[in-house]
């Protein structure tokens, strides 16, 4: 199939909505990363999303809505806490996992009786959802395992020939995916960290919001260094957390430790690699500005791949607040290939 590139004027949005109503696939911009949209209530349409991405079908998708009120089309139990979070953070980079109505495709939910929902902060996509008249199932619009796409060009590079259309919107403001919070129990639990942090959620709810221990766990690697081995006891609640993710083609090493020593270690490693004739990419972010790291990270991984870098040497950020969200992606990208600097 030929993948069309659509603009953002009324005619193109109507065309995108028509494709979606007919069960097709359209990639759409959001403030976090681009999503790959399909009718969330249509088994066949959603099934095509898994195929286009090469995504395991037990990994459920996020459903995008155009107003908080639309939550009622997906769930029967809207709690006070859910209302508070929607009021405080929607439209925005927060996804809530809630009990799913029977009408929600179990292909969308990966067979679960819960569904992940968010209202994205992007006018074009909100218009698209309204025009299509349906909630949009939408995982990140990358091939499974690749870095998430933060521009329409990234989407096109990965999915050209596999989807019907991509809407060419802006470069994503946030750059990493939304915070996913499980709202199905009395105590909310963060299943995937994002730029909206546990303490920000806690401040709105006046409760402690915890982080799923699986988020902080660093699985071990096979002795040949190649494969991510999560072990039988590694059973994250968010199925997406168990796969190797976001990986560049290049080898990637994350240096942890005191920032100045990390800089020196990266410089020394770079010298050595260059002497061996390798092309080296370096990622060192300002630890006080993790939002900048979030904005740049995926797009830099893709740029390194395009320029044929052999190895990426990255300095770890502090694992708290937004830094935790960035490091969650960075560790996965590197397949947990970590070097502790003494
Ligand atoms: O920012 C975002 O969230 C982007 C944009 C496009 O909205 N979307 C995104 O979707 O990142 P995706 O499919 O790449 O990631 C969805 C995450 C996965 O980790 C998945 O396992 C989890 O949300 N998830 C989805 N439904 C769930 C459910 N019912 N229970 C637990 N986790 C769920
Ligand atoms: Mg994804």
What's the whole-model pTM score? 0.94
CA distance from start to end of the chain: 53
The residue to mutate among 27, 50, 61, having the most atoms of ligand 1 within 8 angstroms of its beta carbon, is 61
Atom of ligand 1 nearest to the CA of 109: 29
Pick among 3.40.50.1100, 1.20.1530.20, 3.90.870.10, 3.30.930.10: CATH of 4-73+92-178:
3.90.870.10
Whether ligand 1 lies within 6 angstroms of the CB of 99 is answered as no
Q: Give the CA-trace dihedral at 210, 93, 45, 114, to 10 degrees.
A: 20
> Which atom belonging to ligand 1 lies closest to the Cα atom of 180?
23
| Residues at Cβ < 5 Å from ligand 2 ion | 140
pLDDT of residue 242: 46
> What's the CA-to-centroid distance between 274 and ligand 2, angstroms?
33
In the 8-state DSSP scheme, what is residue 170? P
163 lines ligand 1 (CB under 6 A): no
Residue nearest to atom 15 of ligand 1 (CA): 139
Residue 296: count other Cβ atoms within 10 Å of its Cβ. Answer: 16
Cα(46)–Cα(57) distance, rounded to whole angstroms? Answer: 10
Residues 297, 284 contacting (CB under 8 angstroms):
no
The reply to whether ligand 1 has any atom less than 6 angstroms from the CB of 194 is no
Q: pLDDT tens digits for 52-67?
A: 999 888 889 999 999 9
| Closest listed residue to residue 242, CA positions, set 254, 229, 255, 252 | 229
**One-character DSSP codes across 75-100:** -S---HHHHHHHHHH-SSSEEEEEEP
Residue 42: CB partners within 8 Å, gap ≥ 6? 23, 105, 134
pLDDT in tens, 217-257: 887 665 455 445 555 444 455 554 444 578 889 999 999 99
CA 241 to centroid of ligand 1, rounded, Å: 9
pLDDT in tens, 181-209: 999 998 999 999 999 999 999 999 999 99
Q: Distance between CA atoms of 167 and 150, rounded to whole angstroms?
A: 13
Residue 181 and residue 97: Cα distance in Å, rounded?
A: 6
Residue 133: pLDDT over 50: yes
Which fold, 246-340?
Rossmann fold (3.40.50)
Ligand of minimum distance to the alpha carbon of 191: 1
Pocket of ligand 1 contains residue 116 by CB under 6 Å: yes
How far does residue 33's CA lie from ligand 2's centre (Å)? 9
List pLDDT tens digits, range 1-52. Answer: 999 999 999 999 999 999 999 999 999 999 999 999 999 999 999 999 999 9
* CA of residue 278 to ligand 1 center, whole Å: 36
Spans of all domains in the chain: 4-73+92-178, 246-340
In this structure, what DSSP letter does residue 230 have?
-
> Does the CB atom of residue 33 touch ligand 1 within 6 A?
yes
pLDDT value, residue 232: 46
Ligand 2 center to residue 141 CA distance, Å?
7
Confidence (pLDDT) at 11: 98
Whether 150 lines ligand 1, by a CB cut-off of 6 Å, is no
Q: Whose CA is nearest to atom 19 of ligand 1?
A: 240
Mutate-to-test residue for ligand 1 from 105, 139, 295, 328, highest number of ligand atoms within 8 A of CB: 139
**Span 70-114, pLDDT tens digits:** 999 999 989 999 999 999 999 999 999 999 999 999 999 999 999
| Chain mean pLDDT for the chain | 93
User: Does residue 331 register a pLDDT over 90?
Assistant: yes
What's phi and psi for 175, nearest 5 deg?
95, -20
Nearest CA to ligand 1 atom 31: 238
Position 58 scores a pLDDT of 82
Q: How far apart are CA 330 and CA 98, in angstroms?
A: 28
Q: Which atom of ligand 1 is nearest to the CA of 36?
A: 6
Whole-number CA gyration radius for the chain:
20
Report, as an integer, the average pLDDT of 316-328. Answer: 96
| Angle between the N-to-C axes of helices 290-306 and 321-333, in degrees from 0 to 180, rounded to the nearest 10 | 20
């Amino acid at each position: 199939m030929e993948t069309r590139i659509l603009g953002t004027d009324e005619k193109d949005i109507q065309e995108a909505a028509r494709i979606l109503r007919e069960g097709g696939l359209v990639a759409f911009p959001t403030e976090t990363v681009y999503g790959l949209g399909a009718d969330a209530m249509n088994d066949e349409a959603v099934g095509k999303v898994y195929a286009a991405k090469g995504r395991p079908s037990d990994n459920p998708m996020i459903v995008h809505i155009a107003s908080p009120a639309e939550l009622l089309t997906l769930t029967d139990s809207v709690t006070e806490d859910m209302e508070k979070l929607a009021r405080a953070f929607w439209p925005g980079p927060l996804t809530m996992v809630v009990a799913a109505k029977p009408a929600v495709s179990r292909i969308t939910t990966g067979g679960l009786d819960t569904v992940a929902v968010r209202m994205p902060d992007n006018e074009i996509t909100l218009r698209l959802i309204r025009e299509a008249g349906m909630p949009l199932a939408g995982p990140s619009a990358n091939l499974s395992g690749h870095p998430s796409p933060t521009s329409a060009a990234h989407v096109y590079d990965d999915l050209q020939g596999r989807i019907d259309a991509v809407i060419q919107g802006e470069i994503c403001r946030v750059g990493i995916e939304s915070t996913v919070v499980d709202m199905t129990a009395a105590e909310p639990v963060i299943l995937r960290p994002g730029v909206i942090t546990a303490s920000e959620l806690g401040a709105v709810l006046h409760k402690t919001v915890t982080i799923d221990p699986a988020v902080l766990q660093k699985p071990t690697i096979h002795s040949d260094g190649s494969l991510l081995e999560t072990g039988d006891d590694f059973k994250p609640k968010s199925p997406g957390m168990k796969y190797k993710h976001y990986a560049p083609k290049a080898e990637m090493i994350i240096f942890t430790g005191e920032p100045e020593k990390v800089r020196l270690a990266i410089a020394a490693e770079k010298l050595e690699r260059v002497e061996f004739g390798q092309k080296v990419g370096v990622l060192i972010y300002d630890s006080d500005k993790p939002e900048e790291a979030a904005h740049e990270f995926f797009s830099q991984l893709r740029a390194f791949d395009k320029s044929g870098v052999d190895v990426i040497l990255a300095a770890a950020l502090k694992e708290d607040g937004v830094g935790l969200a960035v490091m969650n992606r960075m560790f996965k990208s590197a397949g947990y290939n970590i070097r502790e600097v003494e």
